[in-house]
Amino acid sequence: MNILPTRVRDDFPFLAAHPDRAYLDSAATSQRPRQVIDAEAAFVATDYAAVHRGSSMATGAATLAFEDARARVASFVGAAADEIVWAENATDAINMIALGMSDAALGLGGDDAGARFGLGPGDEIVVTEAEHHANLIPWQRLAARTGAALRWVPVDDDGLWHTDALAAVVTPRTRVIAFAHVSNVTGMIAPIADVVGLAQRVGALTVLDACQSVPHHPVAFSALGVDFAAFSAHKMLGPTGIGALWGRKDLLDLLPPARTGGSTITTVTMESAEFLPAPNRFEAGTQPVSQAVGFAAASDFLQAIGMPAVADHEHEMTGLLVDAVAHTPGVRLVGVPAGAERGPLASFIVDGVHAHDVGQFLDDRGITVRTGHHCAQPLHRRLGVAATTRASAYVYTDAAEVARFADALAEVRPFFGADR
pLDDT above 60: residue 330? yes
184 and 76 inside one domain:
yes
298 and 310 inside one domain:
no
Question: Into how many domains does the chain fold?
Answer: 2
DSSP letters spanning 352-390: TS-HHHHHHHHHHTTEE-EEE-TT-HHHHHHHT-S-EEE
pTM over 0.85: yes
Q: What's the pLDDT at 2?
A: 56
144 and 13 inside one domain:
no
pLDDT above 60: residue 72? yes
Q: Is 14 helix (H, G, I), strand (E, B) or coil?
A: helix
Instruction: Please confirm whether the linkage preceding 279 is cis (ω < 30° from 0).
Output: yes
Chain mean pLDDT for the chain: 96
* Residue where a domain stops, chosen among 266, 284, 303: 303
CB 184 within 8 A of CB 130: no
- CATH number of the domain to which 81 belongs: 3.40.640.10
174 and 255 inside one domain:
yes
157 and 14 inside one domain:
no
66 and 103 inside one domain:
yes
322 and 272 inside one domain:
no
Task: Quote the domain boundaries for residue 361.
Answer: 4-31+306-416
222 and 357 inside one domain:
no
311 and 298 inside one domain:
no
Q: What's the pLDDT at 105?
A: 96
pLDDT above 70: residue 11? yes
How confident is the model over 358-373, as pLDDT tens digits?
Answer: 999 999 999 999 999 9
88 and 125 inside one domain:
yes
- CATH number of the domain to which 21 belongs: 3.90.1150.10
How confident is the model over 208-261, as pLDDT tens digits?
Answer: 999 999 999 999 999 999 999 999 999 999 999 999 999 999 999 999 999 999
Answer left, alpha or beta for residue 335, where phi above 0 means left and psi between -120 and 50 means alpha. Answer: left
CA 246 vs CA 28, 156, 250, 265, 414: distances in Å: 21, 31, 12, 20, 48
CB 141 within 8 A of CB 170: no
Residues classed as catalytic: 375
Q: What's the pLDDT at 60?
A: 84
